[in-house]
Amino acid sequence: MPKYNIYKIIKSEENNLIDKLKSVNLQKTCCKEINGFKFDFYYSQDPEQIDIWWTDLYKDFFEDIDKPKNKIYFGVLLISNDKLLYAVSLGKAYFYLKNFCDMEFGLDLAERIVDKNHMKIKNSKYFNVSKSKTITTYRHGSTVDYDSGESMQYIKAKTIDEEKWGSTVSFGNSVAFNINKNPEDLTILINDIEEVLKQPPKFSIPRVEVVKNEEKINQLNLKLVSRILDDNSNIQMDEVSIFGVDFVFTDKNQYTFFLKGNKRGTSYEVKELNMKDFRAFIRQNNIDLYKELDNIYVCAKNENDKGFSNNIKHFLDYVDDEKHCLLDGKWYQFNRSYIDYLEAEADRIPHEYLEEDDFSVTDYKSYIIENGHDERVMYKEKYFNSTKENKGYLNFDRDFELIRQKYNIEKMDLYKDNVLYFVKIGTPQKLGYVIDQCMSTVNVLKDKETEIIINSKRIKPQGVCLWLVMDRKNKIDKLSEIESLIFLMKLVEWKKQVVNAGLDYKVKINYVKD
């Protein structure tokens, strides 16, 4: 069955794209008019011969035979009218089309034609320290699922209409259809695409959107440079990139760092991409990275093609504290779909409110004065926890335990009815700490070598509870009303980890009152 890897090209970029195709020796060999669309076919009639890296390594085995070279043919079919421009990628043309395409096209279409109950593969970028990117495969009949901090870049799934779209389609920057149509019939497919894109999405995919503000981009570039120059930073080279719907892995290429501009001759060849070699290139050539970041490029090549060059930012894997990230050399940030998902997940977490458990500042102050305490000693959480003892809670505030001779953790604040309670009072920024505290205990509970002892007895908790005492005037009806993206991310991840540990979960809400 024919396969079509289709890009939606930004119409205003048409002339620039054609110039690029000509610059890489593609020639227009045919032009047709079909159903109100113009079909222009560009083809590499005589591609350059490409060296094969392993022929040098095994040159002694060729004896009198000339070392072979590869010829890689590729092409592009442009389909356009006055308002639209689509491109069908043939061979390695995806390297060039990506720079001129509508980057949202693939996932926009996926939100409208994917059967979300029949996922095949997804590729995601993550906004946390434990993982950067994943490629996930699903069993038959699996539903699309998301993690906190996840931004999707690629989906392969069944469609809602096999006759119109084909059975299974891949969505990235481009869309790959396996569909029983001749090239001349692609006008029907394009019209169907345009029509369905006008409809509202059937579900939302968490993803990122490009940062367009130039001042913000400059700020992010400066922050990036400082991280590159810091040998202790966690910035790294990207292991895999997506070109349309094609995965390109960095371990299959040879690389050269080079500097464009006044120092055009400056270059540095490496066998693999890593920050150590990149920093060596910068220092050996006395490059002012703050001035030259946009002039540093990487040439990547292998025996299958002549190679391609991109700015160094294209190859860096970096996420800042404000949830901006580099993807394919451009700055992105969370989009509304991701935030909608995060809020919906937070609102699925059960929570309860009992006014009698609110924290009274007046009572707290009176207690301190009457008992001669100092607020640095009788801090708010300690006082709050002590008031719960008369309700049957066991108080373990500041009861630390050394685990494996290495980790000193506070396993819980309160305990009652086989539930561990973790208490924090304050703003959303401070409340995030209690999630970290709870996660440490959950990890302990998953470890069979450790245990929790109460009154000389080993206990097996059935659940955990975050007890959030918020310092705010307006009460909330939903957890998503806590206005902190980072807090919501932590909360959703907390729920996932607790469920994976086989524990029940809930949240108790109270407020600080005068």
Structural domain boundaries, residue 361: 348-513
Residue 339 covered by a domain: no
User: Does the pLDDT at position 468 exceed 70?
Assistant: yes
Q: Is 330 helix (H, G, I), strand (E, B) or coil?
A: strand
Quote the distance between the C-alpha of residue 161 and its chain's center: 29
Higher pLDDT, 369 or 353: 353
Q: Is residue 204 part of a domain?
A: no
Q: Do 469 and 355 share a domain, yes or no?
A: yes
112, 196 Cβ separation under 8 angstroms: yes
Do 355 and 498 share a structural domain?
yes
Q: 35 with 90, same domain?
A: yes
Q: Which two tokens stand for residue 293?
A: 């970041």
Give the number of residues written for the chain.
514
412 to 420, 444, 491: CA distances (angstroms): 6, 12, 17
Q: Are 460 and 371 in the same domain?
A: yes
On whether residue 430 sits in a domain, the answer given is yes
Cβ-contact 310, 237 below 8 angstroms: no
**Residues facing 78 on adjacent strands:** 40, 87
Encode pLDDT of 447-460 as tens digits.
655 567 776 677 78
Q: Which amino acid is at 256?
A: T
- The predicted model scores a pTM of 0.61
282 and 410 inside one domain? no
Q: Is residue 45 part of a domain?
A: yes
Residue 8: pLDDT over 90: yes
pLDDT (tens digit per residue) in 233-263: 767 776 555 544 444 555 556 788 888 865 5
pLDDT of residue 447: 65
Q: Same domain for 308 and 368? A: no
Would you say residue 406 has pLDDT above 70?
A: no
Contacts of 254 (CB under 8 A, 6+ apart): 53, 269, 270, 271, 300, 301, 302
Instruction: Name the average pLDDT for the chain.
Output: 83
pLDDT band with cut points at 50, 70 and 90 for residue 402: very low
For tokens 């400082």, the residue is 226
**92-126: b (≥16 Cβ within 10 Å) or e:** bbbbbbbebbbbebbbbbbbbbbbbebbbebbbbb
Whether residue 436 is found in the same domain as residue 487: yes
Residue labelled with tokens 């937070």: 346
* 104-155 pLDDT per residue, tens: 899 999 999 999 888 888 888 776 545 566 777 777 767 777 666 677 888 8
Please tell me whether residues 502 and 366 are part of one structural domain: yes
What whole-number percentage of the chain has pLDDT above 90?
35
- Per the model's pLDDT, the better-predicted residue between 108 and 372 turns out to be 108
CA distances from 313 to 81, 213, 252, 318, 326 (A): 34, 17, 19, 9, 7
C-alpha–C-alpha distance, residues 129 and 177, integer Å: 35
pLDDT digits (tens, 9 = 90+) for 57-74: 788 888 778 888 888 888
CB neighbourhood size of 415 (10 A): 19
CATH of the domain at 72: 3.30.310
Residue 131 lies in a domain: no
Residues 268 and 393 placed together within one structural domain of the fold? no
Q: How are beta strands 463-470 and 419-426 bridged, if at all? A: parallel
Cβ proximity of 503 and 497 under 8 Å: no
Domains in the chain: how many in total? 3
Kindly state whether residue 461 falls inside one of the protein's structural domains: yes
304 and 258 in a single domain? The answer is: yes
Higher pLDDT, 88 or 135: 88
Q: Are residues 10 and 54 in the same domain?
A: yes
Report residue 407's pLDDT band, with 50, 70 and 90 as the boundaries: very low
pLDDT of residue 129: 45
Final residue before a domain boundary, out of 101, 135, 157: 101
Residue 290 lies in a domain: yes
Whether residue 327 lies inside any domain: the answer is no
Residue ending a domain, choose from 101, 123, 140: 101
Answer with the one of 35, 66, 101 that is the final residue of a domain: 101
Asked if pLDDT for residue 217 goes beyond 70, the answer is yes
Please give the pLDDT value at position 244.
47
Label residue 84 by pLDDT band (50, 70, 90).
very high
The answer to whether 433 and 466 are in contact (CB under 8 A) is no
pLDDT digits (tens, 9 = 90+) for 300-309: 776 555 566 7
Q: How would residue 230 be classed by pLDDT, with cut points 50, 70 and 90?
A: confident
> Is residue 472 located within the same domain as residue 378?
yes
